[in-house]
Amino acid sequence: MKVFVIGGGGREHSLMWKISKSPLVGEIYCAPGNAGISELAQCVNIDIHDNDALADFAWGKKIDLTVVGPEAPLVEGITDVFEARGLRIFGPRKQAALIEGSKSFAKAIMEKYGIPTGDGVVFTDYEEAVAYVKRHNSPFAVKADGLAGGKGVTLVFDQEAAISALRDRFIHGKFGSAGKKVIIEEYLEGEEVSVFAFTDGYTVLPMIPAQDYKRVFDGDKGPNTGGMGSYSPVSIVTKEIHEEIITGILEPAIAGLFKEGLEYKGVLYGGLILTPQGPKVLEFNCRFGDPESQAILPLLGSDLVEIMLAVTEGNLLKCKLQWLPSRCVTVVIASGGYPGGYKEGFEISGLKEASQVSGVQIFHAGTALEDGKPVTAGGRVLNVSAVGSSFEEARKRAYEAVGKIHFEGMHYRRDIALRATQEEGRL
């Protein structure tokens, strides 16, 4: 069969890598792809926001399955366009994708169907939001309602910082239209985890949990990024907690959407926090996470394409997921200056040597080819994923591979999965 993957980051490379292992798959295409993806698929230069052009390509190539990586095309309605033309696509329709596209929509669903989350108030007026902040004690989470590339949430610990965050959104337009509506939410204490689940709108098939690192510097310091690394599985998510997440959060969310007339098909991503009162939702996303996918998919023993086909056909109840009894650690290598301003076009060396480290798979994120050589072309450049029998082994392999890679200004965190390694050592 022919598969078409939409996107060009590390998540899409990891999806492509897993899809390419399926015996069901022959030809693979990707729009727009990157330097690493081009080794597995034929890359096509189509704007991922041009739903009609993407559908025309899929129709012309007789694509059997299209897989959408990023959230923006889903929120913009790519699934509706493809399905209207009889094309099979993996990902929720536009209205269902509002679970990520609008935090106020997601909050309303959670409140209506009793899904545990922090208390929050929605504002469309700057002065009203400031007045609320002045009446209530911090800390808060100030959230842009729409898509903001994973950077629309600001944790504030005093009134001055809260007002500054509101000014950025309402007055300075830092997040464009995404910040014209803002949620001020209570600050929740606890460990953050990510739990994804496949769903065909009825059945919920959860994946193993992962934990990611949002802050740019070691020790969770510095500004939020799209993610500087991840590991899976997560020991603090016990079987009991995992079951609580499934039955108390993921299944009620899918059932609630169905009651709202929205059949949700694809992956539901729960960004959760483990509070003393139990797991609560920080956010829902309508797609695979990045970089969590790069730590989860290397441990998936099942055929990903078979699962995706079952989702699109409404047959997920017949499926089971198999997982390797291993550990995976993913380290993100970023451009100097990220998540602020950074330069591109630096040649990347050492990729061949790094990929030869046992258990290592390198997923390209922000890369391109220039005169046949890989160069930097984004903020997050590479994801180095390593599988091992323990976190210590996986972590050692990942950082050994990272040490063989070089480009000007490269930056990465050195503490990815460090605590998981220490906790595992105490068991």
Every domain of the chain and the residues it spans: 3-95, 125-180, 191-318, 327-426
> Using CA of residue 218, residue 220, residue 225, residue 226, what is the dihedral sign?
positive
What CATH homologous superfamily does 191-318 map to? ATP-grasp fold, B domain (3.30.470.20)
The mean pLDDT of the chain is 96
Q: In 3D, which of 267, 206, 269, 272 has the Cα closest to residue 236?
A: 272
Give dist(CA 339, CA 399) in Å, integer. Answer: 22
Q: How many CA atoms lie within 13 A of 281 on its CB side?
A: 29
Mean per-residue pLDDT, 132-137: 92
pLDDT in tens, 275-297: 999 999 999 999 999 999 999 99
Under the banding of pLDDT at 50, 70 and 90, the label for residue 427 is low
Question: Per-residue pLDDT for 149 more than 80?
Answer: no
Best CATH choice for the domain 125-180 from the list 3.30.980.20, 3.30.1490.20, 3.40.50.150, 3.30.460.80:
3.30.1490.20
**pLDDT value of position 267:** 98
CATH 2.30.130.10 fits 3-95, yes or no: no
CATH of domain 327-426: 3.90.600.10
**pLDDT value of position 333:** 98
57: its two tokens: 């390509």
- Percentage of the chain with pLDDT > 70? 100
Under the banding of pLDDT at 50, 70 and 90, the label for residue 309 is very high
Question: Per-residue pLDDT for 413 more than 70?
Answer: yes
| Strand bridging mode 215-217 / 266-275 | unpaired
Whether residue 263 contacts residue 96, with contact meaning beta carbons closer than 8 Å, is answered with yes
pLDDT in tens, 382-407: 999 999 999 999 999 999 999 999 99
Under the banding of pLDDT at 50, 70 and 90, the label for residue 321 is very high
Mean per-residue pLDDT, 47-66: 98
Under the banding of pLDDT at 50, 70 and 90, the label for residue 172 is very high
Going by the DSSP 8-state scheme, the letter that residue 364 receives in this structure is: E
Angle at 149 between CA 148 and CA 154, to 5 degrees: 60
